[in-house]
Amino acid sequence: MQSPILIVEDEKTIADTIIYRLETDGFSVVWVSTGTEALVKLADHSPSLIILDIGLPDINGLELCKTIRLKSNVPIIFLTARTEEIDRVVGLELGADDYLSKPFSPRELSARVRAVLRRSGTVAAEPIAAESMAFLTVDESRKCVSCKGVDIDLARQEFRILCALIARPKQVFSREQLMESAWDEPGFCTDRAVDAHIKSIRSKLRIVTDQECIVTHRGFGYSFQEPSA
């Protein structure tokens, strides 16, 4: 089993966004909010990669990186609100593998995680698929979802939305979360676009089955519910 990614970030809203993105993409995640906790988790979990915020409440992230490097060569990606080149250079010189300034795109962060894992020789976690479901199967390499063995012709955003939903069955996803999952630049998307894609996905699934699997939660968003056999 792939070792978890350790997120060291004291702002919960940012941590929640990162966790959602990485878990949607199939990674196992452990989150802590302080450098002290990070050192404990480093020993307990042997993470495959660390996402490290520089501005921690107890230990400066740069100092924490120095301490980690005395014990481990685990890949590290820095997160920071700072934009000065000197901070980026110092971070990389201390042994960080990559550097991302806030605000950032969660999709870009996930892509950088995969790139760093590849460069470090660590096999990245496979995206969560639905092979265990009798109802749907995801073929990530073909970018295809099949229902009862029949391929469903999905557009790019439809595929991404459906994958996000089935990766975490019964979880309610807001339209904003689905935008983040499906669009490279979600800021150019609207709630109506998400609704239209959900409608299209439902229509395509009905060609194969008359069972409804995407549930609307009015005022909240959508969830995936595997139909009973």
Residue ranges of the domains in the chain?
A: 5-120, 136-224
* 4-50 pLDDT per residue, tens: 999 999 999 999 999 988 888 888 899 999 999 999 999 887 899 99
Radius of gyration of the chain (CA): 19
Residue 82 — pLDDT band, cuts 50, 70, 90?
low
Going by pLDDT thresholds of 50, 70 and 90, the confidence category of residue 108 is confident
**Residue 97 near residue 120, CB atoms below 8 Å:** yes
Total residue count of the chain as it appears in this document: 229
Pairing label, strands 150-152, 144-147: antiparallel
Weakest-pLDDT range from 46-50, 121-125, 126-130, 186-190:
126-130
Per-residue pLDDT reduced to its tens digit, 198-227: 999 999 888 887 778 899 999 999 999 877
Indicate whether 180 pLDDT > 80.
no
Residue 124, pLDDT > 50, answer no
Alpha-carbon distances of 42 from 23, 93, 111, 151, 161, rounded to whole Å: 19, 21, 23, 42, 33
**pLDDT tens profile 54-73:** 889 999 898 999 999 888 88
| Pair 106, 51: CB distance under 8 Å | no
Whole-number pLDDT of residue 134: 59
> Residue 187 pLDDT > 90, yes or no?
no
CATH class given for the domain over 5-120:
alpha beta
Question: 136-224 sits in which CATH class?
Answer: mainly alpha
pLDDT at residue 115 greater than cutoff 70: yes
pLDDT tens digits, 127-168: 444 444 557 888 777 788 888 778 888 888 888 888 888 878
